[in-house]
Amino acid sequence: MPCICIGVRATLRTVPPLAHQNTKISKSSNYHNSTKMGSIEEAIADLKSQEHPNITATAKKHRCNRTTLSKRYNGIQGSRQAGYNSQRLLTPAQSKALIKYINQLTERGLPPTTSMVRNFAAEIAGREPGPHWVSRWLKTNQNDLKTSYLTPIDGARKKAESAFYYSLYFKLLERKIDEYHILPENQYNMDEKGFLIGALTKARRIFSRKAFKAGRVNYMVQDGSREWITLIATICANRSYLSPSLIYPAISGNLQDS
């Protein structure tokens, strides 16, 4: 039987050796990679333990820069952390004191504004903070402090806001209704809404995060010594109601209906 042979020719391409290629191999220096803060600190501790400190030998042993080691050991150059602390407006201890004071103001219902905190910091540090210092400081201490807008409330009203006192009041009211057999048509509920002229508006305040999580930060207290205009609404237990009334100081001092 006749046979047919099919030949396949492969084209071979010669790859030049690596030595003939324009390839650069960068070698990292173990010396520079090992020059870290940890090595410097270990070298300084080693020098302090030596009876006759040898800076050159110790630098080679710990593979760190001799000049840097010499400056650090002789106190000419401080650590990065020490340099950072010297540039900060407040030291860690001063920051803790300021946070403690803000927490005290929060418990009294007087959380400070950002401008107040800026003034506190200037008084502690003895120099003026930068324009963005408060925001950066709050971000650093966000685990302890929080900032938000709060609604003002009078000091007397803040003291009266207690679930315990509310409970006592309604228990007493229930006993008196039963004791005197008071009918629904003789039971009225009155509420008032005061508009304080010249009152404080919502403002961004800085306060304790712990107090905020506990639900103790809802308002900022004001003195309540300003002029009020009061709106009164009254409704009866039988669903009837009286027309709303507006109370305001009259120039003449007489009672007016308009």
Reported as a single tens digit per residue, the pLDDT across 84-109 is 555 688 988 999 999 999 999 888 87
Residue 56 lies in a domain: yes
Q: How far is CA 184 from the centre of its chain?
A: 51
CA distance 62 to 46: 9
Question: Over the stretch 208-223, which tens digit does the pLDDT of each residue have?
Answer: 888 878 877 766 666 5
Separation in Å, CA 257 to CA 53, 192, 241: 96, 17, 18
Residue 40 lies in a domain: yes
pLDDT at 207: 77
pLDDT at 19: 41
SS3 242: strand
CA distance 223 to 150: 16
Residue 238 lies in a domain: no
Question: Over the stretch 188-207, which tens digit does the pLDDT of each residue have?
Answer: 999 988 877 655 666 677 77
Question: Over the stretch 49-79, which tens digit does the pLDDT of each residue have?
Answer: 898 889 899 989 988 888 888 888 887 655 5
Question: Over the stretch 115-132, which tens digit does the pLDDT of each residue have?
Answer: 999 999 999 989 899 888
CA distance 255 to 129: 55
pLDDT at 222: 61
b or e along 135-167 (b: 16 or more beta carbons within 10 Å of the residue's beta carbon)? eebbeebeebbbbeebebbbeeebeeeeeeeee
Domain interval for residue 61: 29-85
Please tell me the pTM assigned to this model.
0.39
Residue 206 lies in a domain: no
CA distance 12 to 232: 101
- The angle that helices 37-49 and 55-62 make with each other, rounded to 10 degrees, is 140
* AA identity, residue 156: A
- The angle that helices 37-49 and 66-73 make with each other, rounded to 10 degrees, is 60
CA distance 147 to 58: 51
Residue scoring higher pLDDT (251 or 138):
138
Residue 120 lies in a domain: no
pLDDT at 66: 86
Burial (Cβ within 10 Å: 0-12, 13-18, ≥19) of residue 20? exposed
Question: Over the stretch 19-54, which tens digit does the pLDDT of each residue have?
Answer: 444 444 344 444 444 444 558 888 888 888 898 889
Residue 94 lies in a domain: no
Residue 49 lies in a domain: yes
pLDDT at 35: 43
Q: How many domains does the chain have?
A: 1
Name 156's Cβ contacts closer than 8 Å, sequence gap at least 6: 224
Q: How far is CA 137 from the centre of its chain?
A: 8
Residue 109 lies in a domain: no
Separation in Å, CA 54 to CA 20, 57, 182, 201: 47, 6, 98, 68
pLDDT at 248: 78
